[in-house]
Every structure is written in structure tokens, then in C-alpha cells.
Amino acid sequence: MVSISAAPPWNVQRLPRADGRVFLVTGGNAGIGYFVAEQLSATGATVVLGSRNPAKAEAAMASIRTRVPGSRVRAVRLDLADLSSLATVVESLGVERLDAVVHNAGVALDDPPRKETGDGHELMFGTNHLGHFALTRWLMPLLSAAPAARVVTMGSFAAKSERLDLDDLQSRRDYRPKRAYGRSKLAQMYFGVELDRRLRAAGSSVASVVVHPGGALDSLTPSRPPVHVRTTGARLSAAPAALLVQGKHAGAWPAVRAVLDPAVRGDQMWGPRVFGLRGEPRREPVWNHLADPSIAALLWDASRELTGADVNTISG
């Protein structure tokens, strides 16, 4: 009898090799995106940081190279708030295929007034959702050229309690910053779910996976100077919170697993193991409101009109 050995348990400290593969991380110069990039760099893959700030990208690359000797990391200029600039990203990458993109970059505003992108979209909705929607249109030829590429969308636990207002996606009538942020992340997650549905219908080899980081705090995040510096006072004051939430290095784990684990499938959502707030990554049920295909389809059509991105180009 031939014995079939099961795949070893997933170990966040011992990631599988990914030599020869190319990954793009939007917003890879800071926060959770930085740790996604650092962890993926340790697999031997080429990791590209998408950043609108060249100086911050340089600092992030220097930090990764210090932590991961021999890492293959570089950066491209990426401004998700400027839709007209996104077509140049494919050329800037300078690759024939892209094995994964992690849609991580985002803007979070805590206070009024309401702000807009240069295209006239509410800043958080326009950057977090519409920018990634349009970027995917331009990246799809590179993703389709890979054997089994993945689009990994970084959502937020803040989106779990939100609902979209399809008549006011831009928060023109009632702007509340924290709610607008949660809804922008929810829109991102709807996009990730709907994208996979359309990719499957088109028979594409590309898969779309939705993840979220749980509760990820700066004060629980290890220092990576000059990208992030945690003081002793911040570390001590945040110690009690570690029972419920985690640092941004751990918040990166679901996205990293979604990129690397061959067992992950496109119709899945991944988050932290403990109450969806902390711990190693695990598959969790897609939230009930996120699984509504009618809302996802309406959002898709609205996003296509707002960005001019051709739906057939994205999912075909």
C-alpha cells in the first residue's frame, strides 16, 4: 500500500520557498504591508513594493535587506488615488508575469472634513476600493500569464459591522470618517469575492482571496527603524491588549498564507485564529452580508462606471 503523507501544518515562522516568483504588495512601505513584504522576501521570491512615496519605499527596502540578507526587493511608484497613473504600473514592474498581488494599501481618516481624490472620489473609497479595482484591470494580463496567480485583498475587521449604502457610495450626504473607512474596506472585500466569482465563470487560472488582519496595533508591533519605532513605554502600556489583539507583523500572516499556501482557494476568507482578532491564520466563514451576490454585482457595475475599468478585461 502506498502511503500519502499529509502536508505539514502551516508554520508562520517557516514559510515555503517561492524562488522565481514575483509578488506585488501595494502599500508595502509601512504598516501591515511592510510586514507582508518582509515575510514574503524571506521565501526567495522577488517582492515589489508599490508606494506613492519613494523615500519611504527606500527606507522599507533598506529595512528588509537588513532583516533578510540576499532578499530580492524593489519598488515601483504607485498612487491609487490617481486612476490615470495606474496604467503605467505594468510597464514599471518590468516582468512577464505576476504570481500574486496583495491589495493592502489604504487611507484612514479619523476626522472631518471630507476629502476627495484628484478624480473627485471620496478619498478613502477612491483609494482603498476604486484604486485597487482599477489597478487589477491593468495587472490582469500579468496575472493571467502566471500558472496560478492570486489576487489577495486585505480587508478589515472594521468592515464586519458596516453595510454599504449603494445610493451614497461616496459619502456625499452623510460623511462620518470612521464609517466611511469601514465601508471602503467592505467595498474592497466585496470586490475580492465578486472578482473570484467572475474569474471562475471565465475559466481563469487566477484566484481571488479575501483576508483580514484582525486587531493589529502599532504598540504591539516590533520595531523596524526607521519604518516603525516602538518605544518601551508603548510596549509596556499595550501589554494587556495582547490578550485580545496583536501587532501588525502578525496581522500580515493571513495575507502571506493566502499568497503562498497551495491549499488556499479563491472562494475563501482568511483571518486570525482567535475570535478573528489575533493568532495564526485560519480559514473562516465568509460574513453573511459579504456573501450577498446582488450587492457585490451592483457595486461592481458602479465601480466600473466610476473608474472606466472594463469588466471583461478584469475577469476575462
Q: Is the peptide bond before 226 cis (omega within 30 degrees of 0)?
A: yes
Residues 12 and 249: their CA atoms lie apart, in Å, by: 11
- Residue 311's alpha-carbon distances to 6, 108, 232, 297, 300, in angstroms, are 39, 27, 49, 11, 8
Residues 25 and 49: their CA atoms lie apart, in Å, by: 5
- Residue from 34, 175, 181, 190 carrying the catalytic annotation: 181
If we measure between CA atoms, which residue out of 202, 261, 268 comes closest to residue 17?
261
- Residue 250's alpha-carbon distances to 36, 103, 288, 304, in angstroms, are 9, 17, 25, 34
Question: From the CA atom positions of the chain, what is the Rg in Å?
Answer: 19
Strands (DSSP E) found in 205-295? 207-211, 216-217, 246-247, 269-274, 278-284
**Locate cell 465601508: which residue?**
183
Active site residue 34: no
If we measure between CA atoms, which residue out of 190, 251, 223, 202 comes closest to residue 12?
251
Residues 16 and 2: their CA atoms lie apart, in Å, by: 25
Dihedral sign computed on CA atoms, order 178, 216, 263, 283: negative
User: Is 214 within 8 Å of 255 (Cβ atoms)?
Assistant: no
Q: What is the DSSP letter of 121?
A: S
Q: Which residues are catalytic?
A: 181
